[in-house]
Amino acid sequence: MVGLSLYFDLVAATALVALAFLVIFLIYAVFTYGPVIGRIFELRPVFLPLRVSPEDLGEAVTFTTDDGLELSGSFLGRRNPQRVGLLVFCHEYLSDRWSYLPYLDHLRDLGYDVFTFDFRNHGSSASDPDYAPLQWATDYEVRDLRAALACLRDRPDHDQAGFGLIGVSRGGSTALVVGSEEPDVWGVVTDGAFPTLGTITAYMYRWAEIFVRSRRLLALFPGWLYSFLGWVSLLASQRRLKCRFPDIETAARRLSPRPWLLIHGERDAYISPEIARSLFDRAREPKEMWLVPAAKHNRCRECEPEAYTARITEFLAQHAPRRPVTAAPSLTHAAMSLYSAEPGRPVGSPRLVPSATASVTS
């Protein structure tokens, strides 16, 4: 009995030593690599967002978020007498509401109403002086989209069937979150959407050897440690940026039974196809994924404009509350005006409106 007691004491002591070592190792990792992860996470990407000059300005709409910020939007009615559904467009980071045009304007010919709006600190919407937006979806973008849906519900022409959400990049991530929570959302289409924790964890795997010079130490890092460091770093960034990052992976899992079409570029250097697949795998049916060959981030539509139009049109026709009565037309004149063979730009690429400064204020 004495020997057995000594054995259990030895096991308990060993477990305590291992636990103490683990705690010390975690503290070391957090304080050593947490600030590095945070700096990478809070870097602002350098890219040119889509800017277009619309011919049809639609009906100007203003609405207020639950924290008192006034946002600007536009309601663009269908060009077909039969209403098929109402689509809400969520633009990408640094862009504005008018970027809806090449994505959705042709659907108005089929009977879809379109509502597009500027997120806070973008376009014509008011700016929050305490919020400096980044490429990551936060609770502020979620608030903005919820306010947009609340505004639409109060309209006399409100579609009782609900909404279809179409989002690009950060707007797509926001659409997933809101779509998973609002019961009157009947479908979600995302182009370049991405998870927050999943993306930063993938970045850590990619760049670990740059910051951890010791291969022996790096070999000791288990997979869960990357996720833990990413989570701790996100918490620290939330405090510094005065915002909260919603769980995009959980939103994807909770989206069902609402259908989801995920569109992503196979040559996306920002958000790899593996990140998109991982997010897609978390969702339940009904869902579809379309990986566009040769497309970079937010460039799927430019690479295959006709296939892009057809894919979204078919998905919406399958899941919209009412069925279109006409076949999908070719791109409308307004949308076609965006496509040209300018010097140095391939046919099918959008003609960007020259802009010396970004439309985002911090």
- In the prediction, which pLDDT does 235 show? 84
pLDDT reading at 213 higher than 90: no
What value does the mean pLDDT take over residues 55-73? 96
pLDDT category at 334 given cuts 50, 70, 90 is: very low
pLDDT category at 342 given cuts 50, 70, 90 is: very low
pLDDT reading at 77 higher than 80: yes
Is the Cα dihedral 289, 179, 271, 191 positive or negative?
positive
DSSP structure class, residue 350: B
Backbone φ, ψ for residue 148 (5° rounding): -65, -45
What value does the mean pLDDT take over residues 251-255? 98
| 94/103 Cα distance (integer angstroms) | 17
Could you give the percent of the chain with pLDDT greater than 70?
A: 73
What residues contact 96, with CB distance under 8 A and at least 6 apart? Answer: 51, 118, 122, 123, 124, 359
What value does the mean pLDDT take over residues 313-340? 65
pLDDT reading at 13 higher than 90: no
Residue of 82 and 329 predicted with greater confidence: 82
- In the prediction, which pLDDT does 268 show? 94
pLDDT digits (tens, 9 = 90+) for 271-307: 999 999 999 999 999 999 999 999 999 999 999 999 9
Q: Which residue has the tokens 């980044």?
A: 134
What is the CATH T-level fold of the domain 59-195+247-336, as seen in this structure? Rossmann fold (3.40.50)
- In the prediction, which pLDDT does 346 show? 33
pLDDT digits (tens, 9 = 90+) for 88-126: 999 999 999 999 999 999 999 999 999 999 999 999 999
- In the prediction, which pLDDT does 37 show? 62
Beta bridge partners of 113: 86
Where does residue 296 rank: exposed (0-12), middle (13-18), buried (19+ CB within 10 A)? middle
pLDDT reading at 142 higher than 60: yes
| Structure-token pair, residue 342 | 């300018």
- In the prediction, which pLDDT does 168 show? 97
What value does the mean pLDDT take over residues 125-136? 94
pLDDT reading at 222 higher than 80: no
pLDDT reading at 20 higher than 90: no
- In the prediction, which pLDDT does 211 show? 54
Q: For the chain, which residues make up each domain, given as ranges?
A: 2-43+199-239, 59-195+247-336
What value does the mean pLDDT take over residues 127-155? 96
pLDDT reading at 216 higher than 70: no
What is the DSSP code string of 321-347?
A: SS--SSPPPSPPHHHHTTB---TTS-T
Which of 14-28, 140-154, 249-263 has the weakest average pLDDT? 14-28
Residue of 235 and 160 predicted with greater confidence: 160
pLDDT reading at 84 higher than 80: yes
List of E strands, the chain: 59-64, 70-76, 85-90, 112-117, 163-168, 185-191, 260-265, 287-292
What residues contact 191, with CB distance under 8 A and at least 6 apart? Answer: 103, 167, 168, 169, 172, 263, 264, 298, 300, 301
Backbone φ, ψ for residue 251 (5° rounding): -60, -40
**Cβ distance 173 to 226 under 8 Å?**
no
Q: Which residue has the tokens 């009412």?
A: 322
pLDDT category at 357 given cuts 50, 70, 90 is: very low
Which of 160-169, 208-217, 300-309, 348-357 has the weakest average pLDDT? 348-357
Where does residue 27 rank: exposed (0-12), middle (13-18), buried (19+ CB within 10 A)? exposed
Which of 213-227, 249-263, 292-306 has the weakest average pLDDT? 213-227
What's the one-letter identity of residue 274? E
CA distances 45 to 49, 269, 308, Å, are 11, 12, 25
| 87/236 Cα distance (integer angstroms) | 36
| 115/86 Cα distance (integer angstroms) | 7
Angle separating helix axes 170-181 and 139-153, nearest 10 degrees: 60
